[in-house]
Amino acid sequence: MGFALWQDNKVQLKILLKIDSSDVEARMDNLFEDSHGKLWISAANGVYTYHKKVLEYLGEANKLFAIRAVDICETPNGEIWVATRGGGVIVKKGEEVIQITEEKGLAGNMCRSLFSDSNAVWVGTNKGLSKITHNPSGKYDIENYYEKNGLLTNEVNNIIKHNNKLWLAHNNGISIFNPANIKSNTYPPPIYILQTFVNDSLCSDQELKNLSYDKNYLTINYIGLSLKMQVILSINIKFWVLILIGYIPPIQQ
């Protein structure tokens, strides 16, 4: 087991390293060479690096790098991004290592591919496509795209860019789109109040203008029309409006 370099479009391969099975305990899925000439190896048992003839397993020092890795890329500012199967995305910023998961807004934790595109990193997952960008505070903003937004399917296996368009490989075909044409929807959905209940009894608008102290449990039913989500949002609010009259009942499960 090992890896080699195909150089200058020549058929002859330059063998860089032959690895004994005891050195790497799992198969290698992908290779990436960063801007400093260091090789990053995606393996079933995590991430390895190979630099100046030294092979290093990063999973020993940081357990995040022991998660199965499937793809690696580098951003223009030198960050190393690792796509994992089950652990979301791992980002190495110098000595700092952070993890981006579904809990933080990623489309899915089962990642398949990465593509670094100027100020954004595109992440293909089994649940959709994520676009991750830096915001002015130094944190990350995440926008997700799914089948309902125009993708062929939610499962994105590979990402490349050609003629300013992103090409996404799915299990059953290809999606093609121009990222420059994606516009963020900053318009809040209109809200329509349907019913208001006081102490579980339907209440008119006129009655709401003058409530006695013992009428202190309000429920508001409303809908919001979100054109971006293509669904009707229906939410039942039972406590926030009570701040106006100085009483907040306990949240009932």
User: What is the helix (H) or strand (E) element at residue 237, kind and residue range?
Assistant: strand 231-237
Find residue 121's DSSP bridge partners.
116, 132
Q: Is the pLDDT of residue 247 over 80?
A: no
Dist. CA 67–CA 189, nearest whole Å: 40
118 touches 77 (CB < 8 A): no
Residue boundaries of the structural domains of the chain: 2-181, 191-245
Burial of 195 (0-12, 13-18, 19+ CB in 10 A): exposed
**CATH top class, domain 2-181:** mainly beta
Q: Is the pLDDT of residue 14 over 70?
A: no
Predicted local distance difference test score (pLDDT) of residue 184: 67
30-80 pLDDT, tens digit per residue, is 889 999 989 999 999 999 998 888 889 999 999 999 999 999 999 998 999
The pair of three-digit structure tokens given for residue 117, joined into one six-digit string:
């595109």
pLDDT category of residue 244 using cuts at 50, 70 and 90: very low
Predicted local distance difference test score (pLDDT) of residue 46: 92
148 φ, ψ to 5°? -70, -15
53 touches 45 (CB < 8 A): no
Helix (H/G/I), strand (E/B), else coil: 167: strand
pLDDT category of residue 179 using cuts at 50, 70 and 90: confident
Query: Which residue from 186, 203, 74 is spatially nearest to 141, judged by alpha carbons?
Result: 186
Q: Is the pLDDT of residue 116 over 70?
A: yes
Full-model pTM: 0.70
Dist. CA 144–CA 90, nearest whole Å: 18
**Average pLDDT for 168-173:** 93
